[in-house]
Structure 1
């Protein structure tokens, strides 16, 4: 049967090494597409809504040119064509996706862009060097039929006067482990700046807490400035927070950043529990300022949530959650929908 991945197979070198498409993959992807149809709002005509997501894609590097790898295999990488199909099915539902943990090997990203089609584009950082950088890139993937670039693309670099942003002397190395990446986008009716990052998962007091405090202060100042130019300003990504009420979460929101209520009851990772979603692994957030001179200008929140992946994908393979993470991710895609101005 035809699949979105057929565009890859025009090159004989990309043909699956394990033969025809298994029926289990066909059935699972049909069911997953139905689930996404019922979960994520459609892209409405005449640009009446905006769908934004963030996803830590868990070492999104290369992939193996097979349809489906068994539970026990020595083949590496474990991400295969089946996984790529599922991941692009998720990404295709949104206008812009902030993607963390894109690796140095770009095969999975290059193939994903081919599957998404000619109306899709991306921007990304270079590989972050050093132990804290973990050889990662940060990327924005976006649907050019819905949004366009409006000019800004930059990494945030700490000035020498770091104390101005709450970095006490000796408590911070004066650069983020993985620099925040900011890109501005436009629709026919509004403009918005998205700032994404993947906070260093280091010592809480000496590494994570200073980064989070610095980000919160920096975002407050930048959002107020962006507001003067009629830009909406949002922060999203993997902030390696633990839970509401934890000092890391408090540092993240202390300058007025707010995580919308509609996102607070959703587990951020496949290890989170639906009955206690903020209890642990509350890493991923989408936030903005809703008060004062830094608040959103003309975007009205319409909804939000997660796309479940564990329990819906690769169910017939019998994987542990750790093994599943290496093939899809250990993070749930987190998303919001905005109504655009009339």
Structure 2
């Protein structure tokens, strides 16, 4: 039950402020009705006390400042949508350790029954200073005091999209063939910082044949174990080294810290939490998978992250959580999946993970509804248990832009001051930073298995 204190109209409010508050209140009423109708159409259950509604929602740069950030109108709309769920996994949340006003405002609107658990920020540029958050209503869901970030073991890490890459900052030099010149104009992604144009993504330039790499002092040639040699005496090896060295018998040993890390953990560390709602026990992992772009190599890193994720979670389900036979393992979040039948989708549906049929029919969870970015999947959902089941009672995505920040509202917002919508700003882009470029995806699961439990006892 959200609270709306900022909507109170006072005598000191300007006519524009009064109009905005009235508009916001009316839009909240519209949202309430739309959400109630939406769940009636999408659910088969008619008793909320016997089910739990779980959602995943990427809230685009929530806490960011682009287009002047989010004001009370936006936060009220977001809170109203969240309040109709019981447990929500949020991605792209910007919460500073000493300043989380934007998120605190959301919590105040939702009310005292709501609580949250957030991840740390993953180091590195791929983490994008984001946190992932589980936000839950304690009247319906309780945290079982088990939480952890999922990391990969040595030997099972994700291959970076760039493969092996050597740094040229410790004495290494490239020598181009005579007459070669790599200077020129290349397609690139740019940003402006301090009045200067800078690359906003790595720019890779193919090197011509016969380019040489001059190695620094301290580099060693290694002959690997089991290379065939001759021996002039005990403890000595006689080796013949050709002028051009290549093949399986040789390696180069460089000084420390010369390679980019090509074997990686997740770009944003997945977050695994244990919850219970009624009789239903859930171990849920929320993720925001590496995006990069749709280039072939970066797509492979994306696919690899998803596959390694399902493998690691399946292993946990089989080992760490095997004693609790009534608990189900689920994963939900922004997987940046391209679409149905794509290798990124196949990676999610591997290692025993299954996307419920009710979610497979959804065209897309982005605003255009043409990409399957967000997903919810469960490990071995049909396995035999003593009484519990993964009983899906409804699933869908909710399109909030049919009710707030509608296209026909563009003129109204352009007439307002200080909302970041400038003359040349795209309204469609602007409104995704006020709400999101993702739609909340949800699933409803049955939580009352009392009859099955009693049947199991008496049979």
TM-score under structure 2 normalisation?
A: 0.63
* Aligned counterpart in structure 2 of residue 178 of structure 1, from 257, 265, 268: 268
Match of residue 284 from structure 1: 374
Q: Report the CA distance between 1:188 and its aligned residue.
A: 3.9
Match of residue 335 from structure 2: 239
Does residue 216 of structure 1 match 2:307? no
Alignment gaps of 5+ in structure 1: 64-74, 273-279
* Aligned counterpart in structure 1 of residue 301 of structure 2, from 200, 207, 212: 207
CA distance in 2, matches of 1:231, 1:172: 36
CA distance in 1, matches of 2:27, 2:6: 20
Question: Would the alpha carbon gap of residues 17 and 219 (structure 1) be closer, same or farther in structure 2, given more than 3 Å must change?
Answer: farther
Match of residue 367 from structure 2: 270
Q: Report the CA distance between 1:222 and its aligned residue.
A: 2.0
Question: Would the alpha carbon gap of residues 311 and 210 (structure 1) be closer, same or farther in structure 2, given more than 3 Å must change?
Answer: same
Q: Report the CA distance between 1:215 and its aligned residue.
A: 0.9
Question: Would the alpha carbon gap of residues 62 and 95 (structure 1) be closer, same or farther in structure 2, given more than 3 Å must change?
Answer: same
Residue 232 of structure 1 contacts residue 297 of structure 1 at CA under 8 Å; is this kept in 2? no
* Aligned counterpart in structure 2 of residue 251 of structure 1, from 329, 347, 360: 347
How many pairs are equivalent?
317
* Aligned counterpart in structure 2 of residue 307 of structure 1, from 398, 402, 405: 398
Residue 8 of structure 1 contacts residue 111 of structure 1 at CA under 8 Å; is this kept in 2? no
Question: Would the alpha carbon gap of residues 301 and 89 (structure 1) be closer, same or farther in structure 2, given more than 3 Å must change?
Answer: same
Match of residue 136 from structure 1: 130
Q: Report the CA distance between 1:25 and its aligned residue.
A: 2.2
Q: After superposition, what is the alpha-carbon deviation per residue over 1:243-285, rounded to whole angstroms, capped at 9, x for unaligned? A: 111111111112221111211232211022xxxxxxx421000
Secondary structure in structure 1 of the residue aligned to 2:306: helix
Greater displacement, 313-322 / 135-144: 313-322
CA distance in 1, matches of 2:315, 2:299: 24
Q: After superposition, what is the alpha-carbon deviation per residue over 1:201-240, rounded to whole angstroms, capped at 9, x for unaligned? A: 0243442121111012112222233243132111100000
Secondary structure in structure 1 of the residue aligned to 2:344: helix
Q: Report the CA distance between 1:128 and its aligned residue.
A: 2.2
Match of residue 149 from structure 1: 143
Question: Would the alpha carbon gap of residues 300 and 166 (structure 1) be closer, same or farther in structure 2, given more than 3 Å must change?
Answer: farther
Residue 3 of structure 2 contacts residue 111 of structure 2 at CA under 8 Å; is this kept in 1? no
Match of residue 71 from structure 1: none
Question: Would the alpha carbon gap of residues 309 and 227 (structure 1) be closer, same or farther in structure 2, given more than 3 Å must change?
Answer: farther
Question: Would the alpha carbon gap of residues 291 and 79 (structure 1) be closer, same or farther in structure 2, given more than 3 Å must change?
Answer: closer
CA distance in 1, matches of 2:28, 2:346: 39
Secondary structure in structure 2 of the residue aligned to 1:55: strand
Alignment gaps of 5+ in structure 2: 165-260, 411-425, 451-459
Greater displacement, 311-320 / 147-156: 311-320
Does residue 194 of structure 1 match 2:291? no
Question: Would the alpha carbon gap of residues 261 and 144 (structure 1) be closer, same or farther in structure 2, given more than 3 Å must change?
Answer: same
The structure that has the greater radius of gyration is 2
Does residue 336 of structure 1 match 2:430? no
Question: Would the alpha carbon gap of residues 293 and 18 (structure 1) be closer, same or farther in structure 2, given more than 3 Å must change?
Answer: same
Note the 1:54-203 alignment, pairs <5 A. 54-61=56-63, 76-105=67-96, 106-162=100-156, 173-202=263-292, 203=297
